[in-house]
A = this chain, B = another copy of it.
Amino acid sequence: MGTRKAVVLLSGGLDSATTLAIAGQGGFECFALTCLYGQRHDVEVEASRRIASAMEVAEHRVMTIDLAAFGGSALTDRGRMVPRAAIGLGPRAIPVTYVPARNTVFLSLALAWAEVLAAFDIFIGVHIADCGGYPDCRPAFIEAFEHVANLATAAAAEGRGIFRIRAPLLDMTKTQIIRKGIELGVDYSLTRSCYDPDEMGRSCGRCDSCVLRLGAFAELGLRDPIPYQNAHP
């Protein structure tokens, strides 16, 4: 028996870096897939390259999908402002930073590569504790996509394996995620989470994603090691 291969969706953010560390700890040979989908995320792609290199993945691929062409999200649509922190809208409110069908598109691409690699495990760093507003982060979605994966592919139809969509962060808070990552040696200085970085790649410190991240580091009594626009918020 060789090592089992896994495809890991790697955005360059804190969650996916931790997910990659968990997959590696689980003994998987990791193939990292970064999906570039809008104008705002170049910084995350650079981060993903640093993380993939530091964590010695078997291979790292960057795919470009022009989801911005469809519009409909503050994250891809230049005409829409990324809001300042709007956490507290309630557990079911869907933020304007929601990107239509994003995780479905990402998992589909991961599935395509996984099938070619004969990798039957696909890791995605979604979680609901802090982000319950995104429908495509919920357990029912993950289970439904796993069912699709096992119907959609020749690999499954021919009985070569059973696909598993693994979301190891699902029930963790941001604080728990960082604690776990530090335990596994993740270098969070390589990661980026900001929805609205400046041209130097410094995080804004004010969007939902920054506020969550900074709050979690603070809760752990740690300093977030990445650069922010205003010295340190």
Give A residues with C-beta under 8 Å from B.
Answer: 61, 63-67, 69-72, 92, 94, 98-105, 107-109, 111-113, 115-116, 135-136, 138, 140-141, 144-145, 147-149, 151-158
Contact = CB atoms under 8 A, between A and B. Distances in A.
Nearest to A155: B100
A116 B72 CA distance: 5
Contacts of A98: 154
A105 B112 contact: yes
B154 A138 contact: no
A69 B35 CA distance: 13
B100 A115 contact: yes
Each complex incorporates copies of this chain amounting to 2
Nearest to A100: B115
A127 to B, nearest CB: 16
B72 A115 contact: yes
B148 A141 contact: yes
B147 A152 contact: no
B108 A105 contact: yes
B101 A153 contact: yes
B135 A157 contact: yes
Q: What 5 pairs between A and B have smallest CB-CB spacing?
A: A72-B116, A101-B112, A100-B115, A135-B157, A108-B108
Contacts of A154: 94, 98, 100, 135
B153 A135 contact: yes
A109 to B, nearest CB: 6
B116 A70 contact: yes
A75 B16 CA distance: 32
A29 to B, nearest CB: 17
Contacts of A145: 148, 152
Nearest to A105: B108
Nearest to A156: B135
A103 B141 CA distance: 18
